[in-house]
A and B are shown apart, each in its own frame.
Chain A
């Protein structure tokens, strides 16, 4: 029943896409003065149907309709309702439907919200977006149908991987997808702009809000994913330079670059070609990321059940996208743009941001793709890990932070730095604070000092900016908040990275471990039955002799029923200044447990800073600043 409705809606949506393409070409031929109403209706119906289609799948999960293979494979009657619903997008097919929903909704919103733009530009954008929509719908229907049936209907489902049963992970994919897939609209708009010759400032104005919306959600999505990794994976880290994390980071770099250069296009009417390249590249990298994750070419926590045919389809689609957009780009590119920037001007500084982003992108791209290449070409398995990224990226962050502090105040066309005393004073203050920090933690490393000094520099500078602009009542709050957030993020990551206390040891019930200032007491073990799992819970008392504080931690080993899986739940006590982190795992079914204890300073602050970065973007969406 649900299967029939779902499939019919998918086919209806595809038909509507073809109607849209047909009417759009008709409009172009007739050179109409106004977009006909039927196009709006087609697009509105398409969004409605695809949303309904998604809700039908959710319904399948809620009522546990195991006649759908997708529900059978990813759900179970004993699962709490919340995770039944989030299970809808916790698998390949369902998440693809979510992906398409965003394509369709953004298509409609872009069409209706750009009333003042050129008609040809809007129509070409619509055409390009609908080609993408058809491509993904066909992929869904033919290769990854979430409404595929299973006969006879099983009585019970296989259950959702327990590691995915987490609130952070329930919201992580939708947030990330709005960012990832949202970028499709400025991909299409770039194609539309090339084909209709709608260039320059008006083009920049029409895509800017979409770039910011996508960027905000992508930033949030990456943050939430990182929070999930920290609380759920139980390794005590929050960023692992895992290929899939990298896949989400690469479009983010390009989007950040785009967000900055689109301002140059808007204000100075130059860099048009560069903006177009960035628009195209963002979505191309998003689809590349999807390919890496879904094809099984990489192994990671994100790989869904692998299926090379799936990979092949995405790869063909990706190739078509890349080569057709390149062809359009080179065919339509006008005479070479000349860039006559003064080396000391706001536009140069904004371009510098792009250079940094290009550098980060290249680093992460090489680190992610290189192992695939060596394995394909020579069968040698290598892995590129955190040391590579830390070595290459960290030193380059320092000058980047300084620029983030100084550049926004620069003037367009020709800039003059008025006083260097403010810069020098801020710099001295940063060095002084750094010395205090080093003294307090009694640990030293050149690289960390470099990072901490430059991030404090940015923080102080942003705060001064904030203060000054409140006085003048003329401020670009969003920029200041995002830059401040980035400064804080780097600062807290730097501190956290360098000053984490970590200890690994074995204990049995009743034993006590003493090291440095800590006293860790393994008090008891108990077993509890929950709705969908059984938990072995340890009780640990942690005493810090330095400030004689006492803290109880309860790490768990969970045995999930459907599917039968062991997960290790870390026990984390988050405080204002630091997190205490403890995981336990049993050693060979003996009475001994392996304990991993960490004291990690300023974890909460890292999340807050990342949220602050995207908050800046949010403010920009709702405030019209100049």
Chain B
């Protein structure tokens, strides 16, 4: 009888503890492993003038930060001040890709909070962003002259992300 009771407790205990450790391996789709890959030379639509721009023509600078944002996205407001500070760094250019947004709302957003972008493009359908390995906003990727992804930021840029970026471009 004692053995029966013991096993009745021990079996669920084993299963439950394995579940517990299993929780730590989340299977979330993760694009962080794209770091080191080359991005495609994609054609973009300019936000203000609807002119077509090739992403390759924008990457003449040593480093470019491609930031995906939208006016309806709340965390984008949180990271905005870091983008504004980054604009002051001369070695870095910032390309903003406006994700699934209305033009009027996005322009109002920039008027309200300031415009941190050197170049502005729009992605109404979200497809360009998907091609660049993005699945939500805000996300940012730091690329070098050779289109190689150096670092990827999922979610809003934080203070430590900001310091990382500064460190990378100053080296």
Contact = CB atoms under 8 A, between A and B. Distances in A.
A308 B23 contact: yes
B18 A372 contact: yes
Contacts of A299: 27
A372 B20 CA distance: 11
A312 B8 CA distance: 22
Given A315-B19, A319-B16, A330-B8, A564 B126 contact: yes
Contacts of A306: 26-28
Interface string B20-46: 111111111000000000000000000
A401 to B, nearest CB: 31
A299 to B, nearest CB: 5
B125 A156 contact: no
Contact of B19 (A155, A291, A326): A291
A308 B28 CA distance: 10
A315 B26 contact: no
Q: Which are the 8 A-B pairs with shortest beta-carbon distances?
A: A376-B22, A564-B126, A299-B27, A372-B22, A376-B21, A322-B12, A297-B22, A311-B23
A298 interface: yes
Contacts of B27: 296-299, 306
Given A154-B72, A375-B25, 16 more contacts: A150-B74, A295-B23, A296-B23, A306-B28, A315-B19, A315-B20, A315-B23, A318-B16, A319-B12, A323-B9, A326-B8, A372-B18, A373-B18, A375-B22, A377-B18, A563-B126
A72 B5 CA distance: 49
* Residue from A291, A372, A563 whose CB has the most chain B CB atoms within 10 Å: A372
B103 interface: no
B81 interface: no
A156 B27 CA distance: 30
Name the prevailing secondary structure of the A interface residues. Answer: helix
Nearest to B77: A152
A293 to B, nearest CB: 13
A369 interface: yes
Contacts of B5: 330
Contacts of B127: 564
B87 interface: no
Interface string B69-106: 00010100000000000000000000000001000010
Contacts of B26: 296-297, 306, 308
A66 B8 CA distance: 48
25 contacts: A154-B72, A291-B19, A295-B23, A296-B28, A297-B22, A297-B23, A297-B27, A306-B26, A306-B27, A308-B23, A311-B23, A312-B23, A315-B20, A323-B12, A326-B12, A369-B15, A369-B18, A372-B19, A373-B18, A376-B18, A376-B22, A376-B25, A377-B18, A564-B125, A564-B127
Nearest to A277: B8
Nearest to B105: A155
Nearest to B8: A326
A150 B18 CA distance: 36
Contacts of B18: 369, 372-373, 376-377
A97 to B, nearest CB: 24
A306 B127 CA distance: 23
B132 to A, nearest CB: 15
Contacts of B125: 564
Interface string B60-76: 00000000000010100
Contacts of B16: 315, 318-319, 322
Contacts of B23: 295-297, 308, 311-312, 315
A322 to B, nearest CB: 5
A298 B26 CA distance: 8
A460 to B, nearest CB: 42
A218 to B, nearest CB: 23
Nearest to A319: B16
Interface string A393-411: 0000000000000000000
Nearest to B126: A564
A155 B105 CA distance: 10
Contacts of A291: 19
A265 B12 CA distance: 27
Nearest to A377: B18
Nearest to A155: B72
A150 B26 CA distance: 27
A309 to B, nearest CB: 9
A474 to B, nearest CB: 43
A299 B22 CA distance: 13
Given A295-B23, A297-B19, A308-B23, A326 B28 contact: no
Contacts of A377: 18
Interface in A350-381: 369, 372-373, 375-377
A161 to B, nearest CB: 14
Contacts of B105: 155
Contacts of A322: 12, 16
A319 B72 CA distance: 41
A318 B27 CA distance: 22
Nearest to B21: A376
A375 B26 CA distance: 11
